[in-house]
Amino acid sequence: MKSCLIIAGEKSGEEHAMTFFPELKKLSPETSFFGVGGEDLQKNGVELIYHLKDFSSMGFSEVIHKIPFYFKALKKIEAEVARRGTKTAILIDFQDFNLRLAQRLAKNGVEVLYYVAPQAWAWKEYRAGVIAKTVNTLYSILPFEKKWFMDRGVKQVRGIPHPLMRTYKDEWSSIPERPFLSMKDGVDLLLLPGSRRFEVQLLLEKFIKTIKILKSHGIKVRTHLVKVNHLPSSLYDYFSDDIDVWYNSDELVKAMKATHMSLAASGTVTLSTGLFELPTIVSYRGSLLNEFIFNNFIKYKGAISLTNIVHGEMVFPELTQEKVQPELMARTLYSWVTQESEYNKLKATLKKTKDLMSGEDFSVPESMAKVIK
């Protein structure tokens, strides 16, 4: 039986995988899949060598702490590929680890399919050269990426609509208008403090304080929160009295449709809120080491949230590091609640988000299955 390696080292990577993997499995019935993922991939027949919860890390400091683990994992996965005689690998995002793995796999004659192009245009541009030498096909999910990578020597680039476009394709007709007047009886505010323990620990308290500031200014707020299923409930329990409506991870769409605006950790979810036309303040906090490296060694100074990157402008306010302060978040939310023209202008801009997420019209599963065969 043929085998195929698949690496989804983060929850967002597994979510990307689930947009193509069930169909790929049907197209490749004689292929066994193994690698790194979570419960969703495992339920769909992937043999897990590692669970993604052991892989996920946030920022430079966490990555440095886990370097010994990652090198051990690289060796183990490489050995497993050799033992099984695997000739194809699907690597999803998770660029620091996956690009190192791609180099090892390519030397051993493995065809690498890389899904979700690394953001080399933001930093580490040399990675385009690594991809050109090691990857059979690169699947890019942002509109401008295909040309950027091809201009730097990557020959086989397929521009695809962002996986979220496929995930939410049946939802577009039911996105609520959320007119300004709908807030006259109170604001429904959604908290999305991240999918990693580190993020929730740093951000959720800040978000709760923000809401208390709004309430102190006479704004009636109903607080909604999406809990991440793979994180311990103890991260949220301390704030249970401050939350009015709770959701599980698989109820994100329901939560976005039920609310007027959001406070969110930087990540894929900020594109989800953009696609669902939900005004959002984006926050990112890392360690002091992360901040030092970002300020001194990374040239990229552009937007960090995907909605802003897609629009090419700061549609969502972004607060990073020491600027993640309840007073600043409350000030922006207060303006959205009290100034109709500002709220409506932002809503009109967000309506364009879907139209900006273009891609080629082809089947990703069929493309991958062809390489596997």
Q: Each residue of 40-83: pLDDT tens digit?
A: 999 999 999 999 988 765 554 456 667 889 999 999 999 999 99
DSSP string, 259-295: -SEEEEESSTHHHHHHHTT--EEEEE---HHHHHHHH
**In what helix (H) or strand (E) does residue 233 lie, and over which residues does it extend?**
none
Residue by residue, pLDDT tens for the chain (373 residues) are 899 999 999 888 998 999 999 999 999 999 999 999 999 999 999 999 999 988 765 554 456 667 889 999 999 999 999 999 999 999 999 998 999 999 999 999 999 999 999 888 877 888 999 999 999 999 998 888 999 999 999 999 999 988 888 889 899 999 999 999 888 889 999 999 998 888 999 999 999 999 999 999 999 999 999 999 888 999 999 999 999 999 999 999 999 999 999 999 998 899 999 999 999 999 987 655 455 545 544 554 567 788 999 998 999 999 988 899 999 999 999 999 999 999 999 999 999 999 888 778 889 999 999 999 9
* Contact predicate 48/33, CB 8 Å: no
Q: Which residue has the tokens 């919860």?
A: 53
Provide the phi-psi class of 278: left if phi over 0, else alpha when psi is between -120 and 50, else beta.
beta
CATH 3.40.50.620 assigned to 2-161+358-372: no
In the chain, CATH 3.40.50.2000 sits at 2-161+358-372, 172-356
Beta bridge partners of 36: 7, 50
* CATH superfamily ID and name for 172-356: Glycogen Phosphorylase B; (3.40.50.2000)
Residue 278: phi and psi, rounded to 5, are -105, 110
pLDDT tens-digit profile of 253-303? 999 999 999 999 998 899 999 999 999 999 987 655 455 545 544 554 567
Cα(69)–Cα(74) distance, rounded to whole angstroms? 9
CA angle 355, 357, 358 (to 5 degrees): 90
